Amino acid sequence: MQAIQPHIDAVMGFQVAGTNVGLKRDGTPDFALFVSEGDCTAAAVFTTNHVKAAPVVVDMEHMETHRQRIRAVVANSKNANACTGEEGISVARQTAQAVADALACEPQQVLVLSTGVIGVLLDVERMKLGVQQGVPILGDDWATAAQGIMTTDLVSKLASVSVTLPNGATFQVAGVAKGSGMIAPNMATMLSVMVTDVVLPADALQMVLNTVNQKTFNSIVVDGDMSTNDTVLLLANGASGCQLQTADELAQFEQALYAVCRKLAQDIVRDGEGATKFITLNVKGCETDENARHIAHAIATSALVKTAFFGADANWGRIIAAAGRAGVPFSPDRSRLTIEGGELEHPTPSAVTIFAQGKPTAYSEADATAIMQQPSITIWLEGGLGTGQAQVWTCDFSYDYVRINGDYRT
């Protein structure tokens, strides 16, 4: 597998477009199309929030009947089309119909994504305008298409990788994502469209996406809020002719998808609303992996922990307290908490253990503060109860997070 790239040049059989339809007043792209030249098998993961936006409801219906024949994805920013009743459902369906008419396919072959303000009916005429503007310019401008789904994001998020199998066959995996706030686990908690030109049945595609999603998009936290619109889509059009015929080849595809999703997931955390620090949180030594995830998420979503990171305060008490309220077995007397600057898999001699066996260690406060001042920080929490482990990526809370969200609708 080649190195992961932070851009997308082209993916065989796919074309994209981004344009402005007036949802963003500054004229930047607020609408995007992702189109396959032929039918795709598709996999999807949707929000588990009981409040689901109209496009999520419609997409779930389309995936139920047409996941072997998906042709396109249409997306908009600035308006979530959530909590808009039957009118919102109608807008999502009319949008799919407009794309289908332009591509000469069925509306059920079109998936719809929306992101932005909740509770405002999306203007379907703007979506139809986007189709009129977007279809004639379909091409390989993935960067503009990625901009079309951005809301409070400061940067667009793209990733791609090429894989060559032992028999010489080559395929690509590529994707775009948006996300900056309203990010929490228990789904993707953002929007992502990923594509591949490999040949793969829908059942296998869904299995791989479920596995990878859990270790990437489901392992990020910005603020702990789960959106109404969260959707991750994976389309495979088979245009490369590359077929995965062995378990090893399927594993190579999973590795490639993981690399793309990990890059996009980490980009979302780095671009977290008001974020100044990227934090890798490793929880190990729990009774089960699920217990470790509960503890990691409790720490990653704690406002007290996140503000301490912003203030460069090595406040171990907040981390241990969060671990203790996670609702799963946790023993402070058997635990060890270690911190180090950077993004690391294992502690080095520069790491500082600040808590062990139920009490703080005799660590240097100056050394701990110096670590907490770095832009990237790695945390290891050893539980001493078993072999369960989890990794979560999160960020700090700054003054800017409050500023951004205090007037989000204005």
**Domains of the chain, start order:** 14-270 (3.60.70.12), 278-406 (3.10.20.340)
Residue 99 in tokens: 């794309």
The residue among 119, 180, 184, 122 whose CA lies nearest residue 151 is 180
How far apart are alpha carbons 237 and 159 in whole angstroms? 18
Span 205-221, pLDDT tens digits: 999 999 999 999 988 87
Nearest to 149 by CA among 99, 114, 184: 114
Q: How confident is the model at residue 188 (pLDDT cuts 50, 70, 90)?
A: very low
Quick one: average pLDDT of 260-276? 88
Q: CA gyration radius for the chain?
A: 22
Q: What is the pLDDT of residue 226?
A: 64
The Cα–Cα gap between 404 and 42 comes to 35
| Kind and range of the H or E run holding 59 | helix 54-66
The catalytic residue positions are 189
- Is pLDDT at 160 greater than 90 in this prediction? yes
- Residue 272 confidence class, pLDDT cut points 50, 70, 90: confident
Give the pLDDT of residue 189: 53
pTM of structure: 0.90
